[in-house]
Structure 1
Amino acid sequence: MGNILMLYASSTGNTELIAEAIVDYLEQTGHQVQTKSFDFDPIDVGELLEYDAVLIGTYTWDEGELPYEVEDFYEELEDVDLSGKPVGVFGSCDSFYPDTFGGAIELMGDRLVDLGAKLVPERLKIDLEPSNDDVERSHAFAQTLLNMTKDTVNI
């Protein structure tokens, strides 16, 4: 089974709830998941290469920006070769700000694509707290990542 890294930043707890739903699904399908929070855990970009796939969750701050706790990681990504690495980006957003809805998710996704990562096509954006339908969307998102991972490793 696959070995997956889950990284996330959560201010209100909504992105954490999404991360938990994804991790629960992955573990139920027999995969090992290492979970780290940008708020509490040291994260070295080099460790991304130790996993079959990576998930990165972030909330969107202010005018569509990355939260401060994710900024250093975002910059340090340039130091690692992510060519072909299956990665998914997700997070909680607020539709009250339609012009910047999920801006941090877009920034992170664009950065990963620029660095050669194999990004899950859907950048999962959930409006505030995840509903039951959003949990199902999270599961489908995770399954897409697993399908992409099967193409690059034998899991």
Structure 2
Amino acid sequence: MNAKVIYATITGNNEKLADLIIERLSRNHIATVKEEISLSDPETLLNFDLIILVPYTYDLGALPDEGLDFYDDLATLDLTGIKYAVAGSGDDFYGSDFCKAVDIFDLAFQATNATKATANLKINLWPEATDLPLIDQFVADILK
């Protein structure tokens, strides 16, 4: 199995979350490519068995500006047979907009016919030690 982990970050929180996910995939001998979302060509997703997206949510529930092209291009793909998962760090200060980009990207992946590997993971701010069991479970569920 090979995986691609794509992230978008302003504060570094989501890149850290992506790194923690990659670390756990590596422990399970999953070859993983890490890529910042503005540098990621959605067409390359067809070359992977697993895609994990780690976006941030901007302002009042908006997608990251640097991920808008990626989001639009997802709509043109058929990812049948490819597993995906979405995780993200956000600020629960924003209430109902907390990690909203995670859910929006989840819907976009569903529309590609990709197979959802696990429930969305949402972390408040910087991933702390208390979040590690959630990240462990997220990856364990993906690998089932």
**Structure 2: runs of 5 or more not aligned:** none
Could you tell me whether the CA contact under 8 Å between 1:59 and 1:93 is conserved in 2? yes
Could you tell me whether the CA contact under 8 Å between 1:18 and 1:135 is conserved in 2? no
Identity of aligned residues (%): 31
Q: Of the candidates 55, 78, 87, which is equivalent to residue 90 of structure 1?
A: 87
Higher mean alpha-carbon deviation, 75-84 vs 85-94, is at 75-84
TM-score, normalization: structure 2? 0.95
Equivalence map 1:80-119=2 (5 Å): 80-119=77-116
- The alignment covers a number of residue pairs equal to 144
Higher mean alpha-carbon deviation, 134-143 vs 60-69, is at 134-143
> By how many angstroms is 1:54 displaced?
0.5
Could you tell me whether the CA contact under 8 Å between 2:24 and 2:136 is conserved in 1? yes
- Alignment of 1:79 with 2:70, yes or no, is no
> By how many angstroms is 1:136 displaced?
2.1
> By how many angstroms is 1:135 displaced?
2.0
Give distance in 1, aligned partners of 2:15 and 2:133: 16
1:40-62 residue CA offsets vs partner (Å, 9 max, x unmatched): xx321111010110100001101
- In structure 2, the residue matched to 1:150 is none
Runs of at least 4 residues of structure 1 off by over 3 A? none
> By how many angstroms is 1:76 displaced?
0.3
**Structure 1: runs of 5 or more not aligned:** 148-155
> By how many angstroms is 1:120 displaced?
2.9
Equivalence map 1:113-152=2 (5 Å): 113-147=110-144
**Two-structure CA RMSD over aligned residues (Å):** 1.1
Secondary structure of 1:12's match?
Answer: coil
1:9-47 residue CA offsets vs partner (Å, 9 max, x unmatched): 0110111111111100111111110110125xx321111
